[in-house]
Chains A and B, each alone.
Chain A
């Protein structure tokens, strides 16, 4: 659903950014992070890690909002998210996408 005008407080809003780091050799391929990432940033790779599991890859660099859910839900301590620089939102994109963060 798109918005009919740009929100009035758009200059006060900053979108947090996260930088995802994956420790590939620790992963056991449980797919929790891929399934529960709210912005669908991750995808399972087709490659194998040294233990023979598929590991996640970042497919949408820049879409991460540093919610840290992947870091919390990972049972292997193999993914973490560091805080990046918060970006102001793009007014055209806000008008076009509205509250819909997907795609």
Chain B
């Protein structure tokens, strides 16, 4: 009986497109797990496509990119991407990503997760990662509801919108996520919808190349829960709604970009500024305090 030894030190191998070619992005997706769980006309698949093409456009080495996601429909993104990826517990995508970015500063860590994961249960982690200006790229897929658990009202559900916990319409004030991100110290804040696919691709490649905490909110259709409960039709009807009501306003004041129920959606790049990241600020401060005694940590491949 022969003994098989698994070599866990093997590096991640990304197959070349010419081997087993089915789709130009086949090298980046784990298509053996397809069909994916997302409903017909859900926007998450489109946003995943935008992420992959933004990554290609940014020119980053896929071996040096890691994706972390939390729980929810959008949490499955990590499982379908053929990159170093981790599907963490509910709301804890940001702490995991923070640890990853600090432990290996060479990695470019992205968090792709939902509005419930990032701003509800992970809200505390979100404000503190933004305050510290961690070197992370956050893509928050906002579908205005907790879709995987049955359409409960979440922190972004607009007033008037029906959900399974607010059958007469939601009466809670929702979060304005770009305003929250900017006021906590994010250096790059943008909002797009799943329809603005080319602008979203450009925003993702800009955010990936931006050092510091970059935040992109992406409005996505949810045909099965949010749209069905509110009688808004299919995902295609949501896309047509974005086409008719989205207004592109680069540099808009984030305090004025609230989303009201079925009203205009202001999209664009709101904030793009320079600020030292957590690692840069730490190294500079400790260098000043400790002088030559301070040796900066440069990652596991550089020793210490």
Contacts and interface: CB of A to CB of B under 8 A. Distances in A.
Contacts of A71: 24, 49
B197 interface: yes
Interface in A18-63: 23, 26, 28-32, 35-36, 51, 53
Interface in B97-154: none
Contacts of A82: 24
Contact of A75 (B42, B198, B234): B42
Interface string B230-271: 000011100110000000000000000000000000000000
A74 B34 contact: no
Contact of A23 (B22, B44, B45, B239): B22
Contacts of A29: 40
Contacts of A31: 41, 236
Interface in B1-58: 22-26, 29, 31, 34-36, 38-46, 48-50, 53
A51 B52 CA distance: 26
A90 interface: no
A53 B35 CA distance: 13
B40 A28 contact: yes
A94 interface: no
Interface in A55-103: 69, 71-78, 80, 82
A77 B25 contact: yes
Contacts of B240: 35
A80 B44 CA distance: 18
Nearest to B46: A75
B49 A28 contact: no
Interface of A is mostly: loop
Contacts of A32: 41, 46, 235-236, 239
A30 B235 contact: yes
Nearest to B197: A72
Contacts of B41: 28, 30-32, 75
A80 B49 CA distance: 12
Interface string B201-231: 1000000000000000000000000000000
B34 A26 contact: yes
Given A32-B41, A35-B239, A76 B50 contact: no
Given A32-B41, A51-B35, A77 B49 contact: yes
Given A53-B40, A77-B23, A77-B29, A72 B201 contact: yes
A35 B31 CA distance: 25
Interface in B163-205: 197-198, 201
B23 A30 contact: no
Nearest to A25: B35
A70 to B, nearest CB: 10
Contacts of A35: 236, 239-240
Contacts of B46: 32, 72-75
Contact of B35 (A30, A73, A74, A76): A76
B45 A76 contact: yes
Contacts of B235: 30, 32
A23 B236 contact: no
B273 to A, nearest CB: 29
19 contacts: A23-B22, A26-B34, A30-B235, A30-B236, A35-B240, A72-B49, A72-B201, A73-B46, A74-B45, A74-B46, A75-B41, A75-B42, A75-B43, A75-B45, A75-B46, A75-B49, A76-B45, A77-B45, A80-B23
Interface of A: 23, 26, 28-32, 35-36, 51, 53, 69, 71-78, 80, 82
Interface of B: 22-26, 29, 31, 34-36, 38-46, 48-50, 53, 197-198, 201, 234-236, 239-240
